[in-house]
Amino acid sequence: MTNKVAVMLGAAAFGLVASAASATTLDDVKAKGFLQCGVSSGLAGFSAPNDKGDWLGLDADFCRAVAAAVFGDGSKVKFTPLSAKERFTALQSGEIDVLSRNTTWTINRDTALGLNFAGVTYFDGQGFMINAKKLPGVNSALQLSGASVCVQTGTTTELNLADYFKANNLEYNPVVFEKLEEVNAAYDSGRCDVYTTDQSGLYGIRLTLTAPDDHVVLPEIISKEPLGPVVRQGDDQWFDIVKWTYYALLTAEELGITKANVEEMKSSTNPEIKRILGVEADTKIGTDLGVTNDWVVNIVKAVGNYGEVFENNVGAGSPLKIARGINALWTKGGLQYAPPIR
């Protein structure tokens, strides 16, 4: 309730704030000398502090990529850890320039809240994890009839769960908890057979279980959770920069440009590679966007291409070991597709 009121007031006040701000976001960011980026206050693989307190993760790396595009330096970014409730007002009030906090793209947020989603950096969805020892032979959520399901109360997860089981005429027994830690403990101690939350979260939780190998994440995804960076509505130039930063990450992966080989790639004969790295004569791609022509070089130097960012933070190179799945490039059967940079 408080949340709703806050968001509504936020949306109302947004009009005032936008008209009061004279300069564009890009000018503001350049004048400040750093990018203020909103991240989650702790989600394994997306934004979490390391031993030194630096923010690591897919969402955090996206912020670094935007900073690299604007300043040519991926370290010119300051992170603001935000709770789920605070995140939209922080963006609307101008406290942050980009919100990169595993935020699901929905029509309500895109329209009523006055936000713009710059793409989908991670296609997530609600999934199930089961204890394979307690439920042997189960390899699909459709076989879960009569199971007890651990779920966090008051989330869309709980509603999606009810919808899914009702639509498939399955019986289930919800075991609800207020806090995520309680759900984890209940599932680990065997209070319930099934755990449901966003699939990316399930892999992180699996690491903390007593016997991770006994637990299997089922293939079914029962809701669409496209997570991506968000900017304020009404500043198209800034929206373009954030959007094309994301596309540049994808295109770099598509063309095989990596953090390691980006300097050599500059001398490539492939016209497409030359074009996006800004080494073509008289190129205006970067300056038209409002940044320098070597912006893609800077992005890749700072964080690597999308594939590298994914593997380092949530994929094989991380403890989470999430498979690329639908987050693979379109050429490899996934959904990640970038319009041409030309």
Partner 1 sequence: MQEHDLSYVRTEMVLAQAAPAGEKGTGAWVRRNLFATPMDSVLTVLGLLLVAFILPPILNWAFISAQWSGTDRSVCATVAQGGLQPDGWSGACWAFVNAKFMQFMLGRYPDAERWRPILTALIFVALLVPLLMPSAPRKGLNAVLFFFVFPIVAFVLLTGGWFGLPHVETPLWGGLMVTLVLSFVGIAVSLPLGIVLALGRRSKMPIVKMLSVVFIETVRGVPLVTVLFMASVMLPLFLPAGVSFDKLMRALVGVALFASAYMAEVIRGGLQAIPKGQYEGADSLGLGYWQKMTLIVLPQALKLVIPGIVNTFIGLFKDTSLVYIIGMFDLLGIVRQNFSDATWASAQTPITGLIFAAFVFWIFCFGMSRYSIFMERRLDTGHKR
- Sign of the Cα pseudo-torsion (210, 212, 215, 218, in order): positive
Which two three-digit tokens encode residue 290? 């409002």
The reply to whether 260 sits near partner 1 by the rule CB under 8 A is no
Task: Provide the strand spans (E) within the chain.
Answer: 35-40, 48-49, 55-56, 77-82, 98-104, 115-117, 122-124, 126-131, 147-152, 172-177, 194-198, 215-217, 225-232
* Beta pairing, strands 35-40 & 77-82: parallel
Assess 26 for contact with partner 1 (CB under 8 A): no
What number of chain residues touch partner 1 (CB under 8 A)? 49
Q: Which residues partner with 152 through β-bridges? A: 177
**88: CB partners within 8 A, 6+ apart:** 7, 10, 99, 109, 113, 115
Dihedral sign for Cα 43, 49, 51, 56, please.
Answer: positive
Of the candidates 140, 145, 208, 261, which one interacts with partner 1 according to CB under 8 A? 208
Query: Which residue number, 41 or 143, has a Cβ lying nearer to partner 1?
Result: 41
Looking at 10-18, 67-75, 148-156, 239-247, which segment touches partner 1 (CB under 8 A)? 10-18
Binding mask 162-191 toward partner 1 (x if CB under 8 A, else -) reads: -------------------x------x---
In whole angstroms, the minimum distance from the beta carbon of 62 to partner 1 comes to 17
CB of 318 to partner 1, least distance (A): 6
Taking the least distance from each CB to partner 1, the nearer of 57 and 307 is 57
DSSP string, 109-176: HHHTT-EEE---SEEE-EEEEEETTTSTT--SGGG-TTEEEEEETTSHHHHHHHHHHHHTT--EEEEE
Work out the widest C-alpha separation in the chain, in whole angstroms: 66
**Is position 234 an interface residue for partner 1 (rule: CB under 8 A)?**
no
Asked if 309 contacts 58 with a C-beta cutoff of 8 angstroms, the reply is yes
Site membership for partner 1, residue 92 (CB under 8 A)? yes
Output the smallest distance, CB 183 to partner 1, in A: 13
| Cα gap 94→80, rounded to integer Å | 12
Smaller CB separation from partner 1, 150 or 299: 150
Binding of residue 271 to partner 1 (CB under 8 A): no
> Interface with partner 1 includes 50 (CB under 8 A)?
yes
Residue 216 touches partner 1, criterion: CB under 8 A: no
49 binds partner 1 (CB under 8 A): yes
Please state, in angstroms and rounded to a whole number, the distance separating the CA atoms of residues 249 and 304. Answer: 8
In the list 74, 204, 286, 304, the residue contacting partner 1 (rule: CB under 8 A) is 204
Among 65, 90, 194, 285, binds partner 1 (CB under 8 A): 90
Q: Please give the residue ranges that form the binding site for partner 1 (CB under 8 A).
A: 2, 6, 9-10, 13, 17-18, 20-21, 28, 41-45, 48-54, 56, 78, 80-83, 85-86, 89-90, 92-95, 181, 188, 204, 207-213, 318-320
